[in-house]
Chain A
Amino acid sequence: GAVVSQHPSRVICKSGTSVKIECRSLDFQATTMFWYRQFPKKSLMLMATSNEGSKATYEQGVEKDKFLINHASLTLSTLTVTSAHPEDSSFYICSARADSPNNSPLHFGNGTRLTVT
């Protein structure tokens, strides 16, 4: 079945450095992918909608210069957390839906746990 691969699954970085998270659709093309952030014991909050070949659409309150999204191909979107701080520590999850057929289900990656020290 359709699979979304997210890498890395865990990353620890020092404050001030940048971290890139990859989200790949392994057996389908996805013009649109979604990036979520999950706080401890909280729900998933949509951060942005990643659009292949164009700029991402960010949700209100999400800093686009801090969370850079690049959707360079129909199977890959990346989220870069720039100049990371401890408050950016969180669980980041991507999701994608096949471009066809219509009403294809949304598939989620296994998430990336980011710890900023």
Chain B
Amino acid sequence: GNSVTQMEGPVTLSEEAFLTINCTYTATGYPSLFWYVQYPGEGLQLLLKATKADDKGSNKGFEATYRKETTSFHLEKGSVQVSDSAVYFCALSGQGAQKLVFGQGTRLTINP
């Protein structure tokens, strides 16, 4: 079945540091890939997505590129801020499917 594996956290960085959170997936066909963010006490919000190979999703300075050859969708940001502290989830939806399969989440803490 479909699955998503994220790098384990927690991840702690200083402000303005470069961020990478690794995500790899297993799926049949051509899934869509997502990154969701969960701020403390809140539900999940869609951060970015990519629906086909080589697509790059981007939002709020975050980027992720759909790499079919390495089955990866790593999240990157060039300069993180304290306000980026949250839990980040990588997810996929199978081809034609509505439901999402999530990775285990990575807690990110940015120190000033």
Contact = CB atoms under 8 A, between A and B. Distances in A.
Contact of A109 (B43, B46, B103): B43
A104 B65 CA distance: 21
Contacts of A6: 43
A78 interface: no
Interface of A is mostly: strand
Interface stretch (B56-64, B67-75, B76-84, B94-102): B94-102
A44 B99 contact: no
24 contacts: A4-B43, A34-B98, A34-B100, A41-B105, A41-B107, A43-B89, A43-B102, A43-B105, A44-B89, A44-B100, A44-B102, A46-B100, A46-B101, A49-B98, A97-B98, A105-B46, A105-B49, A106-B98, A106-B100, A108-B43, A108-B44, A108-B45, A110-B43, A111-B42
Q: Which 9 A-B pairs have the closest CB atoms?
A: A110-B43, A108-B43, A108-B44, A43-B104, A43-B102, A44-B102, A111-B43, A109-B43, A43-B105
Given A34-B99, A106-B100, 14 more contacts: A4-B43, A42-B104, A44-B44, A44-B100, A49-B98, A49-B99, A105-B46, A106-B98, A108-B43, A108-B45, A110-B42, A110-B43, A111-B42, A111-B43
